[in-house]
Chain A
Amino acid sequence: MGCIEELKYETIISHASFKECREYVKEHFKERIEVEPGFKIFDSYIIGIPPILVGIEGDAVVFPYTKPCHGTFLLRIESSDEVDRLRKKR
C-alpha cells in the first residue's frame, strides 16, 4: 500500500466496495469530513467515487484506501496532526 503500508494502521473493512466503506463511515462515525477525489491523506491520494467520507475518532483518521486488484479497504490510523489538518479543511 505504498506509504500507508509503512504506517501503523488498523483495517476495519477489507476487499470491499467503495460504497460499503462510505456507508460504514456514515453509520459509525459522528465526526465526518467530506474530501474530494485525489485529496492527500498520509501522503497518499484518495481514490474514490464522490462523496468521499473520512471519519474522525479521537486522534484517529478512518479513510478508504483503494487498490486496483483488491478493492477498497477502510483503514484507521492514529495521527493528531492529520486529524487537525482534516478539521481545518471544514
Chain B
Amino acid sequence: MRGVVKMDPTDPPDAGGEKGRKTAYLLLGCPEVPVQMGIALYLASRLEKSGVSVVLAGNPSVIQLIRVSDPDQHYVKRVINLERAMADLIEGRVRPDMTVAFAHNDAGISYAATIRYVSASPLYLIIFGRDAEALAGLAEFECEKIVEKAVHNPAQLKKKIDKVFGWAASKS
C-alpha cells in the first residue's frame, strides 16, 4: 500500500479531514464515462490547492484508476471505498464541509439523494453523460446541480464547475 492513501477494507475508518482544514467528500459513480476521472482529479487538485482536504470515494475500479493515474498522489491524497464512505456519512461518523456527487446514471442520482437526506452540508451534484438533462430532472432535492452532456470531452463541464466554485478567470 502506498503512502497515506486510505484503501478499504484494510484501513480503519477515517474522519477524512486534516485538523483545521475544511473537508470535501467526492463521491464517484461507475467509471464508464471518461470525463468523470478527469473532472474528479481536477476538482481534487483545485480544492486541495484552495486549502480543502479532499477524500475521494469510489468503487474498486475507481480506486484503481486513481492509483494508476496519480501514482505519486499529486492530486488525490485520500481514497476510500464508496460503500465505506456511504456508511460513514449515513452513520454520521464523518461530517464533511461539502460533498460533491458525480452522476451519469440513475444510480448516481440515488446516491446523491441519500447524501442529501443524511447530511446537512452543501451538496454539489455533477451530472454528465448522454442522459445528463433527463437525469437532472430526477434530482428534485436541494443541491447545486452542474449539468453538462459531456462524455469524452470535459472542457465544457470544467467551465461550469469553475463558474460554480468561483475559479473562472476574470474577463475584466
A84 to chain B, nearest CB (A): 23
Q: A68-B59, A69-B59 are in contact. Are A47 and B110 (CB under 8 A)?
A: yes
Secondary structure of the A side of the interface? loop
Q: Distance (Å) between the CB of A85 and the closest chain B CB?
A: 17
Verify if B113 is at the interface (C-beta below 8 Å from A).
Answer: yes
Q: Which residues of B contact A18 (CB under 8 A)?
A: 106-107, 109-110
Give how many B residues have a beta carbon under 8 Å from the other chain's beta carbons. Answer: 24
In the bound complex, CA of A71 to CA of B29 (Å): 11
Cα distance, A38 to B119, chains bound together (Å): 11
B residues neighboring A (CB under 8 Å): 29-30, 32, 59, 61, 82-83, 86-87, 90, 105-111, 113-114, 116-118, 138, 141
Chain A interface (Cβ within 8 Å of chain B)?
Answer: 2, 17-19, 36-38, 45-50, 66-72
16 contacts between A and B (CB under 8 A): A36-B117, A38-B117, A38-B118, A47-B107, A47-B110, A47-B114, A48-B110, A48-B114, A49-B113, A50-B117, A67-B107, A68-B29, A68-B108, A70-B107, A71-B105, A71-B106
Given A19-B106, A68-B29, output 14 extra A-B contacts at Cβ < 8 Å: A18-B107, A37-B116, A38-B86, A38-B90, A45-B87, A46-B114, A47-B110, A47-B114, A49-B110, A50-B113, A68-B107, A68-B111, A69-B29, A69-B59
